[in-house]
Structure 1
Amino acid sequence: MQGQADLFLGLDEAAGPFQKPVSSQIQVKLQGQQRALRLDPANFEPAANALEASGQYRILRRLQPRPVVTSRIAVPGQKVAVIVDTETTGLDHTRDEVIEIGMVAFSYDEDGRIGDVVDTFNALREPSVPITPEITRLTGITPDMVKGQMIDLDPVEAFIQPAHLVIAHNARFDRPFCERLSQAFSLKAWACSHAEVSWSDFGFEGSKLGYLLSQCGWFHQGHRAVEDCHALLEVLAAPLRGDTGCAMSHLLASARKALLRIWAEGSPFDMKDELKKRGYRWSDGNDGRPKSWFIEVTEDAYEAEMKFLRQEIYCRDVEPFTQRITAFERFRAAS
């Protein structure tokens, strides 16, 4: 339409449609006339801001990890948390092995405000079995990269020693692998940013790390351990839509709560759909836990859950086996 600007990346007029665009030049076609605007790196951010301000574009910026602050003044009330991520040869912690571990340690206060990155750690490990092409595709880690590599556990244990909390985006996966690597991880309180933050309440349509990061305005090299840790830190620190806090504050609130795990042992088989509908999960008993349906509820929801079981499931007075689960026990393989 005449009078309407058509902004596009400059292409060689003679080049085919699949030729690489000239990244240093933007062509502006306005009312049949062309003029070239040459952008240097100093103009990238103003250009991105202008596009965002138009309301017609969303810009993703490459995530730049926060610098490590090695010498800092201790702030009263601040604690240290460690974000951990593992890359492995498979999904089974009893059989598969860690091939990379990444960690980022950072300070935070009681309200969940994130302070400085105080240290980072990354190490590769050669497994006892070959890394499959599928694992290389998922992680970017090749057999050559890990050849002769090992994870020295002394620095790993020294790294997590000051941590008041260990955070993973899938703690149910990472904690068992980490504990198999070193029992020092079993002494720590754990939190899961995937399971313990109600992302949908804040307008997110998914909870995968890459999606959350893009919704916060960044992109990164995913599926490498320490890069994923840096990415999760920014997701935890970013402001939430319609909320005065950040995801870290909600994660801390969840981690501080004890849950009661109720085992519906011996429940009637024909009630399994009702239990599943209410949120119960099945344990097959292979990991030492009861072979039973179970659910985890907050302490203030315990009486309502007992009433449901007695009236709707067992139709009699029962006292199901119940465990109190804190952040020190949550997400263990057999907890």
Structure 2
Amino acid sequence: MKTSSAQIDLFDDAPGYREAPRPAPRKRQAVAPQHAGWDDEEAAQRLEQTGHFRILRKLVPRTVIPRVESAYPNLAVLVDTETTGLNHAKDEVIEIGAVAFTYDDEGVIGDIVGVYNGLRQPSEPIPAEITRLTGITDQMVAGLEIDFAALDALVNEADLIIAHNAAFDRPFCENLSSTFAAKAWACSVKEVPWADLGFEGNKLGYLVGQSGLFHEGHRATDDCHALLEVLARPVGQNGTPPFAALLRSSQQSRIRIYAENAPFDMKDHLKGRGYRWSDGSDGRPRAWWIEIDEELWDEELRYLRTDIYGWEDAEPLTVHLTAFERYRL
């Protein structure tokens, strides 16, 4: 198999793309020439200052520089996968994108120091719905494979791996390369308080639009570049970048509690408190479970002993999680 290009320009046509025939152009009205010295950004700012317009600016990826030229000490890698389905046990990665960037201990993002994008031919044809969502066709991935040497070289030095829904991406990434398994992971969906920062949702499209940007979505590297800009831009009353909150969260330990053998008639109480059901099919205990910050452990234990089990010595199964264990199955 040949290897796909290790990096593609963000706005190049996708490999294998063929432009559909275009209809004959309609006659257009003459457009008045722009005045000499026209400045797009100045015009946009004037419109915004009226209070009647909200301008979206096209996202332009940052320039990639050598790691040695960045003044920021730490390294994180944003990853995104496009897959043939949602089940990591049987579905396959057809594209992976990764953007490596530097940052400091306060959560300030520095520079992009590496980009990887790779397409991969799956063992079976890509489902039509996946092609509709991603734009990736069987022709585009034919004969292609991930360049693991290039991908692992980017990931090896990372202090933190970030995905927008890490519970989905981490298992797929670990199936691709064991390099991902030994890394600390953070989830930009769950570990950033987007609502508190003034955002209306946590889907990437919402975040990008409310950050005043637009981009070509649903391709892996494009989405990594977009997420980086959202994480880097100061928001809220204190002007703090969302990445600072994500970094703090990734450094905290959490506890997963399995309420094994909880009485059946307590299921609605558990569900109302935020517990989720595990049917045991993925190797986890068959039980209602919740994941909480460590400082909430005593309170949660009291709740289970008093309201659920009615037994003061009950000891539900607990698992301590750091960023190295989180988002694994």
Same-fold call, TM cutoff 0.5: yes
Q: Distance in 1 between matches of 2:27 and 2:197?
A: 39
Question: Match of 2:111?
Answer: 116
Question: Match of 1:273?
Answer: 268
Are 1:214 and 2:209 matched, yes or no? Answer: yes
Greater mean deviation of Cα atoms: 36-45 or 219-228: 36-45
Alignment of 1:216-295 (within 5 A): 216-295=211-290
Residue 323 of structure 1 aligns with an amino acid whose one-letter code is V
Q: Kindly indicate whether structure 1 or structure 2 has the higher relative contact order, using CA contacts under 8 Å at least 6 residues apart.
A: 2
Give the 3 Å change call, closer, same or farther, for CA 143–293 of structure 1 in structure 2: same
Q: Distance in 2 between matches of 1:277 and 1:69?
A: 49
Residue 82 of structure 2 aligns with an amino acid whose one-letter code is E
Instruction: Name which of 316, 322, 328 aligns with 2:324.
Output: 328
Q: TM-score by structure 1 length?
A: 0.87
Question: Match of 1:51?
Answer: 47
Greater mean deviation of Cα atoms: 234-243 or 107-116: 234-243
Q: TM-score by structure 2 length?
A: 0.88
Larger Rg: 1
Instruction: Name which of 165, 178, 183 aligns with 1:183.
Output: 178
Question: Match of 1:83?
Answer: 78
- The answer as to whether partners of 2:163 and 2:188 remain within 8 angstroms in 1 is yes
Question: Match of 1:319?
Answer: 315
Give the 3 Å change call, closer, same or farther, for CA 40–151 of structure 1 in structure 2: farther
Question: Match of 1:299?
Answer: 294
How far does residue 201 in structure 1 lie from its aligned partner after superposition?
A: 0.7
Question: Match of 1:195?
Answer: 190
Residue 291 of structure 1 aligns with an amino acid whose one-letter code is R
Q: Distance in 2 between matches of 1:86 and 1:74?
A: 27
Q: In percent, how many aligned pairs have the same letter?
A: 55
How far does residue 41 in structure 1 lie from its aligned partner after superposition?
A: 9.2
Alignment of 1:57-76 (within 5 A): 57-70=53-66, 72-73=68-69, 75=71
How far does residue 157 in structure 1 lie from its aligned partner after superposition?
A: 1.2
Q: Deviations over 1:300-328 (max 9, x none)?
A: 11000000001101111201111100100
What are the ranges of 5 or more consecutive residues in structure 1 without an aligned counterpart?
1-18, 26-35
- The answer as to whether partners of 2:80 and 2:224 remain within 8 angstroms in 1 is yes
Question: Match of 1:168?
Answer: 163
Q: Distance in 1 between matches of 2:132 and 2:38?
A: 35
| Number of aligned residues | 303
Q: Distance in 1 between matches of 2:38 and 2:182?
A: 48
Q: Distance in 2 between matches of 1:324 and 1:86?
A: 27
Q: CA RMSD in A?
A: 1.7
Residue 66 of structure 1 aligns with an amino acid whose one-letter code is R
Residue 50 of structure 1 aligns with an amino acid whose one-letter code is R
Q: Distance in 2 between matches of 1:220 and 1:296?
A: 34
Greater than 4 Å deviation, 4+ residue runs: 19-22, 39-42
Q: Distance in 1 between matches of 2:152 and 2:141?
A: 21
Instruction: Name which of 151, 157, 162 aligns with 2:152.
Output: 157
Greater mean deviation of Cα atoms: 236-245 or 161-170: 236-245
Residue 65 of structure 1 aligns with an amino acid whose one-letter code is P
What are the ranges of 5 or more consecutive residues in structure 2 without an aligned counterpart?
1-25
**Partner of 1:52: helix, strand, or coil?**
helix
